[in-house]
Structure 1
């Protein structure tokens, strides 16, 4: 009995192992940890993430050391200020230029010219519309300092002053808005005049143009740079499926670089007290720091060579992380001027916006700022289809249902063959039973006879595996989409599902909220997982009860196992699985009826309550072949 079902059992077991691995290795901390960490991060940023020393010089992040003899010794560095106040104190410690766009709000510090105050108007901490908006960047001098710097680095050995963290710029406007740039100016007193023209679009992209005019009597060599600095290691979700940390694309040679905070800390020393990694002679790309849904990335001139670097340094009791680029040297003769073009993205990783920047501003592989993963070729197109449907129906949950129907249609011919083969196998059960009884003591002849029967009847014994196996890549891709894309964050469905990316909030064990009791996470079993389990149970019971006791027990308990397994998965994924099961049941029932095969659903359910019909083995064996011959 076991031999002819070996491949089927192996495929099912493999599917279970994959799903278990996904849950316990990819989703190891569980959704509760994800929500708790996100809440802690945002609470810290909004309530305590303040920065502010009364003296700007004390809170500035001075440039550090760049490796290599060809690099300037004062390249962008990793040092950062220690916490000395609240966010409000830090914001009040220096004069500021207000930022006001449809998507972001914040300010630029005139002390250092830093972009260090950015909040995202369109996104809130929870599904509650009155919850605080997301705070992305915060100034130095307070907890969780996170900011961006641009400017120039002087050549090694040069005493020529250049703007730094203590430089107090003057501005020609008080508010930066889309289409209304702000110009910052500073004179170093030794013949160099620096101008920084900052523009911002309606989304989250800043354009930075740094100009220098040399009125001194000497040639000056300068290097343009841009950097993102983050003080302190943030809480991370710890999911293998999600990258959080430093990220960048540094030219075609070195390509995509993804470094977690812990991995970077283990790198070799770049300079005393600083560890990290450097990529030289890159053309085209960007570097930055990413969270699950938000990121800050600096983007150099895409036509010129640059050196990309990720670094980490111990500052007081915390580590400070930095992603920066260093441009090629510019020799500025007396009376000459030069300019450097760069950009800063500081906002939500919206797919349309990220793709738009890559296309319109020709930023090489900027789409990789979103962690599409190894199955990029399938995951991203699936999201594009989902998003397109969403734009027409206005609900991502409905879009998931429609995509499931489309995928069913795509795989319909293969599924038809699978279900038809399964139907034929069920029709041949009496003959298969007779063969097993006839060669009970000779397993080799038994297997040969069974294979001959399969060949004669054109039956594929493993065909039934395909409907299950085809769901696995779709399952993974949809899980990734629900997990990483901000479009799915807080996306509602109907009824009690207010966030498709979060688990079903209801729970059977407190009677769906009627009892004031919060069950442990292992007992989280919402309404949609139960619906999924019921549809899976129906699908299993449409087939005859397996004669093998082990196989029978496995099929009986599998829906229960999957119900609890998917209890903590995103609701959108459980809805997909439930809807897919329902479509599969409909399709399988139609094909079974078309092939004249009895649907065993009601008989199997009756059998569970002791009303078991006569087994289809010895009793039905003589009659079935006769019916088959008549056909």
Structure 2
């Protein structure tokens, strides 16, 4: 198989891969409903839900929220139910060069995405949208001061001799928020209380495009399932219900670069669930009820992650939570590549330079495969006159033709698939790098140099895609071909143009990788051709 056929194979494989990703994304697409509803208007249907967990979350006046500020988070917590109704990520801007911070959780008329939690059961206080506690708090503004590593935000409520305290615990430089429920039974009778926590969001399109096939929707983890997406379409079709015998697992709502997740702590037999009412989807966790004797106290604990997809930090919070950085089925290759990329960046301080170095390392590691590919291609080209003479001599006798061809290959020590096998082996590396770069939140709004101010967005002047197309054209020109079919020749001629157009909308970090990979190919081609020429093999 000659070089230009190899290019065609890579091209078709990449296009097929991207089309498959887009098809997968479109499978999970749910068009936004044309109407947004106020949840408070649906109290009757909501209060009938058997789980008793609330479906509240209506828009609240500013006087009913508490503001909590740390170095990495700014939260708005509703005093009505103690829900996190807004979460701003202080170290991530909404847009490039914008002073406005990225808002992950929000409670606006056109988009609801909030983190709810509460107490259910016979003595629960979160029984319906109209029957939730209005917590009391010592102040409306909590700030993590300089020199402090932790801030506690307690919300309190009393009813029928029971004192309920819901405490948010935030720590410096952490996106994980511990949420503690303390129930003190000062009544004369035993009380039974359980808790729930869910993430609530409007039904949304699953997101992504053919050049950036990202995912927006639910996900979960259990003892038996390390990581599984559960899209809005899945939620509409079936209500999820899974048990966690030892309490190990989590639920999440994920999107490109960011995620929110609830993780139960030290609670056996928790239940993961989903449900959809009108245009609102919940994915959550229920903790079994506990009986609290008169005069006793019971504690429940959950952790809420709300922030970027930082693998190391997420892995430390919960087992398999780092898998929300979705590298697909080649995660076992992509994850080490991301680790290597991060290691390189820690030295060079620039993600674009790190991508270039990583590309040289990966292509250098595959040099032996590349050399084998071109050597096999060269030997096959040398045999072309003998093969042509064989075809003319044997005519349509395919059986003898096959036998004599195999004898010729064996005699000349040529592997007829030697030019194809290296390409097949390299494709998983290419695809893994694609995902490693696309899923890395570290590349978001990260500059390279000059006009490339954001490696996660397209090149504003299309210079990198044009250079990539030019390098692809040079690879074609340097690679001799045995293609005689006019249609194949036309396809090969237009392939750099097609790929240039295709890459115009790719994130510049991915285009940079492909451009550098082509440059490395040109260098390797030149070196290999010189070596083959010295050995008396011409192309």
What is the TM-score of this pair, normalised by structure 1? 0.74
TM alignment of 1:316-335, pairs within 5 A: 319-335=279-295
Show the counterpart of 2:519.
Answer: 582
How far is 1:575 from its partner?
2.0
How far is 1:119 from its partner?
0.8
Deviation string, structure 1 residues 412-468 (Cα, Å, up to 9, x no partner): 222222222223333444444444455456555454444333222212222222443
Runs of at least 5 residues in structure 2 that lack an aligned partner in the other structure: 26-30
TM alignment of 1:487-526, pairs within 5 A: 487-506=442-461, 526=462
Show the counterpart of 2:484.
Answer: 548
Show the counterpart of 1:529.
Answer: 465
Q: Pick from 86, 103, 120: which aligns with 1:117?
A: 86
Show the counterpart of 1:305.
Answer: 269
Question: What is the rounded CA distance, in whole Å, between the counterparts of 2:483 and 2:229 in structure 1?
Answer: 51
Deviation string, structure 1 residues 133-190 (Cα, Å, up to 9, x no partner): 21122247x44232222231123xx6x75687642222235415351212222111x1
Show the counterpart of 1:170.
Answer: 136
Show the counterpart of 1:626.
Answer: none
- Bigger mean CA deviation after superposition, 572-581 or 217-226: 572-581
Deviation string, structure 1 residues 83-130 (Cα, Å, up to 9, x no partner): 6xxxxxx34141x33211111113222222222121111222322x23
How far is 1:64 from its partner?
5.0
TM alignment of 1:171-250, pairs within 5 A: 171-173=137-139, 174-177=141-144, 178-188=149-159, 190-201=160-171, 202-230=173-201, 232-238=202-208, 241-249=213-221
CA contact (8 A) 2:54 2:126 kept: no
Question: What is the rounded CA distance, in whole Å, between the counterparts of 1:310 and 1:23 in structure 2?
Answer: 30
How far is 1:13 from its partner?
5.5
Q: 1:485 to 1:133 in 2, by over 3 A?
A: same
Q: Pick from 332, 354, 359: which aligns with 1:399?
A: 354
How far is 1:384 from its partner?
1.0
Question: What is the rounded CA distance, in whole Å, between the counterparts of 1:421 and 1:163 in structure 2?
Answer: 72
What's the secondary structure of 1:243's corresponding residue? coil
Question: What is the rounded CA distance, in whole Å, between the counterparts of 1:257 and 1:204 in structure 2?
Answer: 22
Runs of at least 5 residues in structure 1 that lack an aligned partner in the other structure: 31-36, 41-48, 68-72, 84-89, 268-275, 358-362, 507-525, 601-631
Q: 1:153 to 1:15 in 2, by over 3 A?
A: same
Q: 1:168 to 1:544 in 2, by over 3 A?
A: closer
Show the counterpart of 1:97.
Answer: 66
The answer on 1:367 being equivalent to 2:331 is no
How far is 1:308 from its partner?
0.9
Show the counterpart of 2:13.
Answer: 18
Show the counterpart of 1:608.
Answer: none
Question: What is the rounded CA distance, in whole Å, between the counterparts of 1:565 and 1:242 in structure 2?
Answer: 17
How far is 1:218 from its partner?
0.9
CA contact (8 A) 1:379 1:480 kept: yes
Q: 1:370 to 1:154 in 2, by over 3 A?
A: same
CA contact (8 A) 1:248 1:369 kept: no
Q: 1:499 to 1:553 in 2, by over 3 A?
A: same
Structure (1 or 2) with the larger CA radius of gyration: 1
Deviation string, structure 1 residues 477-503 (Cα, Å, up to 9, x no partner): 222223322112222222322222223
Q: 1:564 to 1:143 in 2, by over 3 A?
A: closer
TM alignment of 1:380-399, pairs within 5 A: 380-399=335-354
Question: What is the rounded CA distance, in whole Å, between the counterparts of 2:508 and 2:404 in structure 1?
Answer: 47
Q: 1:176 to 1:287 in 2, by over 3 A?
A: farther
What's the secondary structure of 2:240's corresponding residue? strand
Show the counterpart of 1:288.
Answer: 252
Deviation string, structure 1 residues 312-353 (Cα, Å, up to 9, x no partner): 101xxxx11112211122111111111111111112222232
Question: What is the rounded CA distance, in whole Å, between the counterparts of 2:12 and 2:364 in structure 1?
Answer: 27
Show the counterpart of 1:569.
Answer: 506
How far is 1:80 from its partner?
4.7
Question: What is the rounded CA distance, in whole Å, between the counterparts of 2:204 and 2:294 in structure 1?
Answer: 46
What is the TM-score of this pair, normalised by structure 2? 0.85
Deviation string, structure 1 residues 21-74 (Cα, Å, up to 9, x no partner): 2333424799xxxxxx9xx9xxxxxxxx9x9x9xx988999975665xxxxx52
Q: 1:435 to 1:402 in 2, by over 3 A?
A: same
TM alignment of 1:37-186, pairs within 5 A: 73-74=51-52, 76-78=53-55, 80-81=57-58, 90-94=60-64, 96-127=65-96, 129-139=97-107, 142-155=109-122, 161=125, 166-173=132-139, 174-177=141-144, 178-186=149-157
Question: What is the rounded CA distance, in whole Å, between the counterparts of 1:91 and 1:205 in structure 2?
Answer: 27
Show the counterpart of 2:297.
Answer: 337
Question: What is the rounded CA distance, in whole Å, between the counterparts of 1:385 and 1:446 in structure 2?
Answer: 49
Q: Give me the CA root mean square deviation.
A: 3.4
What's the secondary structure of 2:329's corresponding residue? coil
